[in-house]
Chain A
């Protein structure tokens, strides 16, 4: 198979030069599935930050400032491994076919996306982005035992804007402790 491709190329080169015209023309061959610059998809990304945690080169950074979260890929660090694309739960990032990245300056070489941040109403610590919290809620209610869905939904509404620490601290006050589910006996 490889040989046939090579022979085809050689025959073509008899009539047309094989040398690419780049940079005065288009690139000779951009194979499908080439690993280029990773790019966020505005519609899908929920700002959870999983990609930043798993990035092998620490190219993606999370910056929480005031009421905004900014995720940015500093692409002079990126090795185009595609782990961010693999790990993303929402298909919110994908490697594009952009590879012409040479530049005089690397300081401004960033691709970024911004989100509104939800802060804890008790202690003002960062909870997460609005989209992320909504998605988590949706997933929990999808997968939990249908007999306690309503109860869990009510609990989730109670600690929607609380950080992890405050949720634990206030769990008895708000009666959101999961103990009450364990104590229920179901015949299964």
Chain B
């Protein structure tokens, strides 16, 4: 582990992206920033700018409209970048689509989970996940970030 990845793991910057879904996961992310849970204990800086961020938290399922923007925002991030799929929608599409992987059944608006658009590193199931589950997801993403060069 080089000094760069060590430093990155100590202070990752995070951006949140809402791709679709019902918005509840988005609100739960705000909880994580409150004094009770305070994810900034882990060295995280909440930076709503993908060009500066190391970790992208995506919530909600990807719709046909948002797919291109999710891809574009992911491409704007600098490597090494990690993606957290937050919530059941982002993990698999949840209640909005049926099937998974190759036999996923798109609806007329929803494509599926975030992994249909961009590669995902950490999955955090829950509808919405409890704030502690989100913190666990962030901790896992930081572990992965430390290992990448």
> Residues of A at under 8 Å CB distance from B?
18-20, 22-23, 27-28, 34, 56-58, 74-81, 99-106, 109
Q: Number of residues in B with C-beta < 8 Å to the partner?
A: 30
Task: Mark contacts of B30-52 with chain A using CB atoms, 8 A cut-off: 1 yes-contact digit, 0 otherwise.
Answer: 00000111100100000000000
Q: Is the CB of B91 within 8 A of A106?
A: yes
By secondary structure, the A interface counts as: loop
Least CB distance, A22 to chain B, in whole angstroms: 5
> 12 A-B contacts, Cβ less than 8 Å apart?
A18-B35, A19-B38, A22-B136, A23-B135, A28-B37, A57-B95, A76-B92, A77-B91, A77-B94, A77-B100, A99-B132, A102-B122
Asked whether any CB of chain A lies closer than 8 Å to the CB of B124, the reply is: yes
Q: Would A18 and B36 be within 8 Å (CB), given that A23-B135, A79-B127, A100-B133 are in contact?
A: yes
Residues of B with C-beta under 8 A to A74: 92, 100
Q: Is the CB of B94 within 8 A of A57?
A: yes
Q: Is the CB of B121 within 8 A of A104?
A: yes
Q: Is the CB of A99 within 8 A of B129?
A: yes
Q: Is the CB of A78 within 8 A of B88?
A: yes
Residue of A nearest to B124 (CB): A102
A80 to B38, CA, bound (A): 25
> Residues of B at under 8 Å CB distance from A?
35-38, 41, 88, 91-95, 98, 100, 121-127, 129-130, 132-133, 135-137, 139-140, 144
Q: Is the CB of A76 within 8 A of B140?
A: no
Q: Is the CB of B36 within 8 A of A19?
A: yes
Residue of B nearest to A76 (CB): B91
A105 to B115, CA, bound (A): 12
Cβ 8 A contact of A103, one of B36, B38, B123: B123
Cβ 8 A contact of A19, one of B41, B130, B133: B41
Residue of B nearest to A19 (CB): B38
